[in-house]
């Protein structure tokens, strides 16, 4: 049974785009959508957790399903998702919306999912409870600052519990705890609602597996049916059942707005099952290799949004780092398939073998740049900074793009806000208004300065105002979690949620943290130095001329624009002045954010990655003093401004290493771009390994990048049909280069061209 992946490939790659629903198995997507809406309206007076659970149950009971006899994993449920155009990345990258709810509609087309409930209640509840903040948030997004958001999307279920108990076991645990508390007379009304919502959800899941099982009986594939039958009654016991469980759970969780943004550290998580299968002779290594081909291929075929993360390696409780034979098997299959989905997050510690590190380097060099490497030591220090000891943080799992989260213990809301801090420079120049629209946002400051110090002080005033605004907005939104987005499916996997009878997002976790990310730091640093040079030191223009130049997008000031762009005093080249200024601004931000108390009994975490928002918000941001034109992307992550990193990757690394990475628990991946010729041959793999190890030994927290040259990108831009498979690591995940917008392609080419290493 476990073979034939390549023979079946044509039936696998397009199985989501061209599904073959059993029409008699349930309601078609349009009918289901109408009926769900009516169902929700009918039950609108129920407490929100129960409404969510009942809607979930309604969907799983009534949606059409399909068993693909060419696959070995069952999961398919007709929720009307249009995989061919909506789950792909291209829309996401083009996205430019001022209202987060539109994002969800547009990017996932989840018309009939319970995510719709989130969209509806997110808007309704906010407009009712915090109308001023709701409008301010829309304004902040529309003028390129960013959006405050209660991040219900990036979540991590407790995979240990899911595999230990299985679906029926999770259901039984909820029933048992409810019964126990009830008989002790300790059950509060809101806890009763909560437990009931979990019980309804897990009954729905077990019934859904039964539906899949019964459907599978139509085909003569006993192991397929056997696996589903087993999972109806028991936790998974074999590798095959583990993979089916993981895929099913991820699919079911995402029927809500929440996404399981990691499968966990799978080489460790799955290892006992792997050993047992091999030891008992149930499956051969080759059988398991074949299972992983089917498993990974599903993520790619489903074009899972922003790519499905999974983690490898990590430190064991005794402090040593391990890889194992399953790590290598997984990397082999991953390399063989060459997909960008799922994506791999490797937990690094110095004990990882050179063999593993060179294997990973080889995959990255081959173009599988979706692999990101995260440094355990920096993460541990980051957790220590917010009072969490290593004994607890040792079990962290990187999720989303690269953000650490304590599985089963922490909801980190890893993306509550991305703040374009270059707006603080703009506001210091204009006196508090947006340069493109003239809209005032926040405080008023003077519109002219006689000294650089005056301007510099105004910059910090605006910076602090922006941070405080975001904190306030996030706090107010997250207090409304239970009215907007309770998650019984997710909470059902978490022991502390079950013991407390509280939701994942609202008091159920041991740590309920919040994360703010600041980006455009390089644009900010270069711009402040440009103001100093142009207006105050060399007096090439007056302050009001600078305002006019920026308002007119440098028209009439082209020569000054060229001069300032050409100026070598730019961040990212291991130069003292700009790097020192970066440190000061960075420390100011981290000092204001890290460890700050949030509204959920936890603390704020700080990160500096931007994902694709540097392009989205850049598009709405006027010209900046560093010579950047209006609407161009601002700098991403802690990278230099595109085209300004003139001394190569080692210099960029050293600039970034001057910053205190222990404050970056919210993460910051260094984006390296290296020309393929610089790392060719065996020596190239050794050099990449040494480069990674050095960066981490010096305290760096995460690395991602591309081994690529500008020539091939230019060629791909001209002849996209020939380069359909060219992957680039763009922000927190990979994309096919040909799927990017023209502006993004050019931005990437510009950065690639400037990463020369000769001075």
Partner 1 sequence: MTKGRIVGIKRFEIHDGDGIRTTLFLKGCPLKCKWCHNPEAISSKSQVAYLKEKCIGCGECVSVCSAHAHSFFDGKHVYDRNRCVHCGKCVDVCLGDALTLYGREISPKEALKLLTEDGIFYNSSGGGVTLSGGEPLQQADFCMELLKLLKTEGIHTAIDTCGFAGKSDIDKIIDDTDVFLYDIKFYDNKKHIQYTGRTNKPIIENLKYIDIKGKPVEVRIPLVSTINDDQMEPIGRFLATLKHIRKVKLLPYYNFSSSKYAALEMENMLPAVETPDDRQITDAVGILKSFGLNAISGKE
- Nearest distance in Å: CB 694, partner 1: 5
- Nearest distance in Å: CB 560, partner 1: 11
CA 417 to chain centre: 12
DSSP per-residue string spanning 144-210:
TS--B----SEE---HHHHHHHHHHHHHHHHHHHHHHHHHTT---HHHHHHHHHHHHHHHHHHHHHH
Nearer to partner 1, 279 or 681 (CB): 681
Cα 44 from Cα 534, distance rounded (Å) = 61
Cα 379 from Cα 571, distance rounded (Å) = 25
Nearer to partner 1, 592 or 628 (CB): 628
Nearer to partner 1, 618 or 684 (CB): 684
Nearer to partner 1, 33 or 753 (CB): 753
Nearer to partner 1, 407 or 549 (CB): 549
Cα 470 from Cα 604, distance rounded (Å) = 11
- Nearest distance in Å: CB 691, partner 1: 6
- Nearest distance in Å: CB 690, partner 1: 3
- Nearest distance in Å: CB 734, partner 1: 23
When computed from its CA atoms, the radius of gyration of the chain, rounded to whole angstroms, is 26
- Nearest distance in Å: CB 526, partner 1: 17
Nearer to partner 1, 346 or 386 (CB): 346
Nearer to partner 1, 694 or 725 (CB): 694
- Nearest distance in Å: CB 216, partner 1: 50
- Nearest distance in Å: CB 706, partner 1: 15
Q: What is residue 51's three-state secondary structure?
A: helix
> Is the Cβ–Cβ distance between 569 and 575 less than 8 Å?
yes
- Nearest distance in Å: CB 482, partner 1: 50
- Nearest distance in Å: CB 195, partner 1: 53
Q: Per the structure block, which two tokens stand in for 683?
A: 């020596």
Give 635's Cβ-side CA count (13 Å radius).
30
> Is the Cβ–Cβ distance between 206 and 171 less than 8 Å?
yes
Task: For the beta carbon of residue 169, count every other beta carbon within 10 angstroms.
Answer: 17
Q: What are phi and psi of 755, to 5 degrees?
A: -80, 50
Nearer to partner 1, 514 or 574 (CB): 574
- Nearest distance in Å: CB 347, partner 1: 19
- Nearest distance in Å: CB 684, partner 1: 6
Exposure string over 723-738, b if 16+ CB within 10 A, otherwise e: beebbbbbbbbbbbbb
Nearest to residue 593, comparing CAs of 602, 574, 607, 606? 606
Helix axis angle, 285-301 to 271-280, nearest 10°: 140
Nearer to partner 1, 566 or 718 (CB): 566
Beta bridge partners of 518: 419
Nearer to partner 1, 37 or 698 (CB): 698
Q: Per the structure block, which two tokens stand in for 201?
A: 């959800």
Residue 711 CB partners (closer than 8 Å, separation 6+) = none
- Nearest distance in Å: CB 349, partner 1: 15
Helix axis angle, 285-301 to 325-337, nearest 10°: 50
Nearer to partner 1, 425 or 623 (CB): 623
> CA–CA distance from 565 to each of 183, 425, 444, 534, 657 (Å)?
72, 17, 29, 12, 24
Cα 719 from Cα 435, distance rounded (Å) = 38
Nearer to partner 1, 302 or 679 (CB): 679
- Nearest distance in Å: CB 360, partner 1: 16
> Is the Cβ–Cβ distance between 628 and 614 less than 8 Å?
no
The helix (run of H) or strand (run of E) holding residue 310 is: strand 309-313
> Is the Cβ–Cβ distance between 408 and 494 less than 8 Å?
yes
Nearer to partner 1, 299 or 692 (CB): 692
- Nearest distance in Å: CB 707, partner 1: 12
> CA–CA distance from 441 to each of 132, 139, 355, 434 (Å)?
13, 8, 53, 7
Nearer to partner 1, 207 or 694 (CB): 694
Nearer to partner 1, 223 or 694 (CB): 694
- Nearest distance in Å: CB 683, partner 1: 5
Nearest to residue 755, comparing CAs of 648, 638, 637? 648
Binding residues (CB under 8 A) for partner 1: these are: 559, 562-563, 566, 574, 647-651, 654, 674, 678-684, 686-687, 690-691, 693-694, 697-698, 757-759
- Nearest distance in Å: CB 262, partner 1: 29
How far the first Cα of the chain sits from its last, in Å, is 59
Q: Per the structure block, which two tokens stand in for 141?
A: 């997004």
Nearer to partner 1, 350 or 601 (CB): 350
Q: Per the structure block, which two tokens stand in for 175?
A: 């029933």
> CA–CA distance from 433 to each of 194, 437, 555, 621 (Å)?
46, 8, 20, 12
> Is the Cβ–Cβ distance between 69 and 503 less than 8 Å?
no
> Is the Cβ–Cβ distance between 614 and 632 less than 8 Å?
no
Nearer to partner 1, 31 or 757 (CB): 757
> CA–CA distance from 18 to each of 80, 300, 480, 659 (Å)?
12, 14, 39, 49
- Nearest distance in Å: CB 650, partner 1: 5
> Is the Cβ–Cβ distance between 513 and 413 less than 8 Å?
yes
Nearer to partner 1, 14 or 559 (CB): 559
Q: What are phi and psi of 365, to 5 degrees?
A: -65, -35
């Amino acid at each position: 049974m476990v073979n034939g992946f390549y023979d079946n490939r044509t039936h696998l790659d397009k199985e989501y785009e061209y599904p073959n629903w059993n029409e008699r198995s349930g309601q078609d997507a349009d009918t289901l959508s109408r009926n769900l809406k009516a169902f929700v309206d009918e039950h609108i007076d129920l407490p929100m957790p129960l409404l969510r659970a009942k809607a979930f149950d309604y969907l799983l009971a009534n949606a059409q399903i399909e068993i693909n006899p060419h696959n070995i994993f069952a999961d398919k449920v007709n929720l009307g998702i249009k995989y061919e155009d909506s789950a792909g990345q291209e829309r996401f990258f083009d996205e430019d919306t001022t209202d987060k709810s539109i994002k969800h509609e547009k990017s996932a087309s989840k018309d009939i999912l319970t995510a719709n409930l989130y969209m509806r209640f997110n808007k309704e509840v906010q407009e009712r409870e915090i109308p001023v903040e709701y409008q301010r948030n829309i304004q902040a997004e529309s003028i390129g600052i960013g959006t405050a958001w209660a991040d219900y999307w990036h979540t991590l279920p407790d995979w240990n519990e899911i595999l230990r108990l299985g679906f029926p076991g999770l259901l039984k645990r909820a029933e048992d705890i409810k019964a126990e508390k009830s008989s002790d007379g300790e059950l509060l009304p809101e806890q009763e609602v909560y437990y009931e919502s979990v019980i309804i959800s897990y009954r729905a899941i077990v019934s859904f597996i039964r539906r899949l099982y019964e459907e599978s009986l139509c085909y003569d594939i006993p192991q397929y049916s056997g696996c589903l039958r087993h999972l109806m009654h028991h936790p998974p016991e074999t590798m095959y059942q583990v993979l089916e469980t993981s895929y099913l759970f991820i699919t079911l969780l995402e029927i809500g707005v929440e996404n399981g943004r990691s499968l966990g550290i799978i080489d460790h998580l799955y290892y006992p099952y792997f050993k047992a299968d091999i030891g008992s002779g149930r499956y051969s290594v080759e059988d398991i290799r074949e299972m992983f081909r089917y498993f990974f291929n599903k993520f790619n075929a489903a074009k899972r949004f922003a790519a499905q993360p999974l983690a490898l390696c990590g430190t064991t409780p005794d402090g040593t780092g391990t890889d194992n034979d399953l790590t290598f098997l997984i990397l082999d299959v991953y390399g063989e398939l060459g997909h960008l989905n799922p994506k791999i997050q490797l937990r690094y510690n110095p004990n990882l073998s050179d063999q593993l590190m060179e294997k990973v380097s080889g995959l990255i060099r081959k173009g599988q740049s979706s692999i990101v490497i995260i440094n355990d030591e920096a993460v541990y220090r980051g957790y220590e900074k917010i009072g969490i000891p290593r004994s607890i943080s040792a079990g962290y799992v990187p999720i989303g793009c690269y953000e650490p989260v304590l599985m089963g213990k922490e909801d980190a809301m890893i993306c509550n806000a991305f703040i374009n801090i270059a707006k603080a420079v703009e506001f210091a120049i204009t006196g508090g208004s947006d340069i493109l629209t003239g809209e005032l946002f926040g405080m008023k400051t003077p519109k002219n300065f006689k000294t650089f110090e005056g301007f510099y002080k105004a910059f910090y005033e605006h910076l602090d105002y922006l941070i405080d605004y975001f904190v306030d907005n996030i706090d107010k939104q997250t207090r409304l979690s239970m009215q907007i987005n309770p998650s019984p499916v997710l909470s059902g996997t978490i022991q502390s949620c079950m013991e407390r009878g509280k939701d994942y997002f609202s008091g159920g976790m041991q740590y309920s943290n919040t994360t703010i990310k600041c980006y455009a730091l390089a644009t900010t640093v270069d711009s402040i130095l440009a103001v100093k040079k142009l207006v105050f030191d060399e007096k090439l223009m007056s302050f009001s001329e600078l305002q006019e130049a920026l308002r007119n997008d440098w028209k009439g000031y082209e020569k000054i624009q060229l001069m300032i762009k050409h100026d070598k005093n730019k961040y990212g080249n291991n130069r003292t002045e700009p790097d020192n200024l970066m440190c000061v601004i960075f420390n100011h931000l981290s000092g204001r954010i890290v460890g700050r108390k949030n509204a959920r009994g936890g603390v704020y975490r700080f990160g500096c990655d931007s994902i694709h928002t540097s392009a989205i918000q850049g598009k709405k941001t006027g010209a900046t003093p560093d010579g950047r034109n209006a609407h161009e992307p601002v700098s991403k992550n802690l990278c230099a401004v595109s085209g300004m990193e003139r001394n190569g990757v080692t210099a960029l690394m050293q600039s970034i290493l001057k910053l205190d990475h222990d404050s970056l628990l919210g993460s910051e991946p260094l984006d390296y771009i290296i020309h393929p010729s610089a790392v060719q041959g065996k020596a190239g793999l050794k050099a990449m390994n040494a480069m990674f190890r050095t960066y981490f030994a010096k305290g760096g927290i995460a690395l991602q990048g591309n081994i690529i040259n500008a020539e091939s990108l230019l060629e791909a831009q001209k002849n996209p049909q020939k380069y359909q498979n060219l992957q680039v690591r763009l922000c927190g995940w990979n994309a096919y280069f040909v799927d990017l917008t023209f502006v993004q392609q050019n931005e990437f080419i510009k950065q690639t061209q400037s990463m020369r290493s000769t001075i």
